[in-house]
Amino acid sequence: MTAFWKDAYDEIDAIFVNHPNFAYAMGETRDLIELWPTLTAPCIHVSGPSGVGKSTLKDRMIGQYPPVPNGAQVKLLGGLTMTADRHQLLVATMPSSPTVKGLARELLKAYGDEFWNRGDEYTLGDRVDRFVAANQTAAILIDEAQRAVERSGTVVSDKLIDWIKSRHEINSVGIILLGLGNLRHLFDADRQIERRWDAEIRLEPYRWFLPNGDPDFAGQDNFIGVLATFRDLAPVRLEFDVEDDDIAFRFFYLSQGLVGGVKKVLLKSTRLMKRNGKTTIDLALLKEAADGAFRLEKNGMQNPFCRTFVPQPPPPLDDDYEIKIAKKRIKGDSSTSQSKGRRAQAVNKHLIL
């Protein structure tokens, strides 16, 4: 039984559902690779909310262009030479506190440079350029690229953006920025980077309704197609008809149109199969999985697999284009300072008594 549910979990987790813009983004990536070498490499920008499939897109890109072990000889400063994996496509993540040094080190670490954490901005940049050349790297994908934009909507560091532009110009390497929609503020703030990058490729959630509230029949068909893909590829039987409008809408409500949400509830159901001694997924298991995998009450949502579920549109997703400015507590005007003042008055009163 253990092997069964474990295998089922892994197979469901590996299911790939093609997003309408996946093929276009993959095609653009292939263009970057196949155009190499070229005088001016194009750059692209892919965005979407959390759960829409950006990580899946990144994994598919890596799968098409995996690193070649020990495929590059890199000449370092001082005449040293080292063997590294060859990367046509290099994938790295923007540091949580973005700086030139931080990003350079992430790139060198991705290349396999054993000295990735040594050097100043100049020597780190020089080493990145040496690895790009020796690896014949055609494109660099930077995930979580929205970290380069502060909560206020301003760019974290002009120096960092200039450094990225220099890598593109010096090496004629394509740069792929992958992240949330608020990365667009980077292009709004820097006209040079806007000129270098193609128009945004957007990965959107699936829709059940049009903006005016009318049914989006094409969107519904597309989402039901997602459910049918999971049904056909899942190694366990689903004890319900995913093509029934009522069942499909319940999945849509819970997932808010995100493939990641559909996969999440099915994966949780698979884990519960073991505990409940089941070999199929039914609606009772989905109800338990929805309660266990989603913070429904906190987000003002119902469990759609309850008998008491009242069909209604799900709460809207957070706008990933929005800049969320942290609220600053004003000294002397906060509830905390007021409560401290009341406590002080009470203490003084008792001391006087």
Please give the helix or strand (H or E) that residue 146 lies within, else none. none
Looking at the domain that runs over 21-202, which CATH code has it been given? 3.40.50.300
Q: What local confidence, expressed as pLDDT, does residue 4 receive?
A: 75
Q: What local confidence, expressed as pLDDT, does residue 330 receive?
A: 35
| Packing angle, helices 259-276 and 217-233, rounded to 10 | 40
For residue 86, what are the β-bridge partners?
A: 68
237-238 vs 68-75, strand pairing mode? unpaired
Residue range 216-245, pLDDT digits in tens: 999 999 999 999 999 999 999 999 999 999
Mean pLDDT of 171-177: 94
Mean pLDDT of 153-157: 77
174-179 vs 139-143, strand pairing mode? parallel
Q: What local confidence, expressed as pLDDT, does residue 326 receive?
A: 39
Residue range 178-196, pLDDT digits in tens: 999 988 888 887 788 888 8
- Give ranges for CATH 3.40.50.300 in the chain: 21-202
Q: What local confidence, expressed as pLDDT, does residue 291 receive?
A: 97
Residue 67's region, left for phi above 0, alpha for psi from -120 to 50, else beta, is beta
- Give ranges for CATH 1.10.8 in the chain: 217-293
Question: How does residue 95 score in pLDDT terms, banded at 50, 70 and 90?
Answer: very high
Smallest Cα–Cα separation from 131: which of 167, 94, 177? 167
Q: Decide if 45 contacts 195 (C-beta within 8 A).
A: no
Rounded CA gap, 303 and 294, in Å? 9
Residue 1 predicted with pLDDT over 70? no
State the chain's mean pLDDT as an integer.
Answer: 86
Q: Decide if 251 contacts 242 (C-beta within 8 A).
A: yes
SS3 185: helix
**Assigned token pair, 212:** 């005016």
Smallest Cα–Cα separation from 98: which of 40, 15, 179, 191? 179
Mean pLDDT of 290-313: 96
DSSP state of 94: -
Q: What local confidence, expressed as pLDDT, does residue 77 receive?
A: 66
Q: What local confidence, expressed as pLDDT, does residue 263 receive?
A: 95
Rounded CA gap, 7 and 11, in Å? 6
Q: How many CB atoms lie within 10 A of CB 341?
A: 11
Residue range 115-134, pLDDT digits in tens: 899 999 989 999 999 999 88
Residue 332 predicted with pLDDT over 60? no
Mean pLDDT of 79-105: 90
Q: What local confidence, expressed as pLDDT, does residue 70 receive?
A: 79
Residue 68 predicted with pLDDT over 50? yes
Q: Decide if 68 contacts 85 (C-beta within 8 A).
A: yes
Out of 31-35, 66-70, 186-190, 307-311, the most confident range is 307-311
Q: State which CATH number among 1.10.3120, 3.50.50, 1.10.3470, 1.10.8 fits the domain covering 217-293.
A: 1.10.8
Question: How does residue 139 score in pLDDT terms, banded at 50, 70 and 90?
Answer: very high
**Assigned token pair, 204:** 């959107």
Mean pLDDT of 147-165: 84
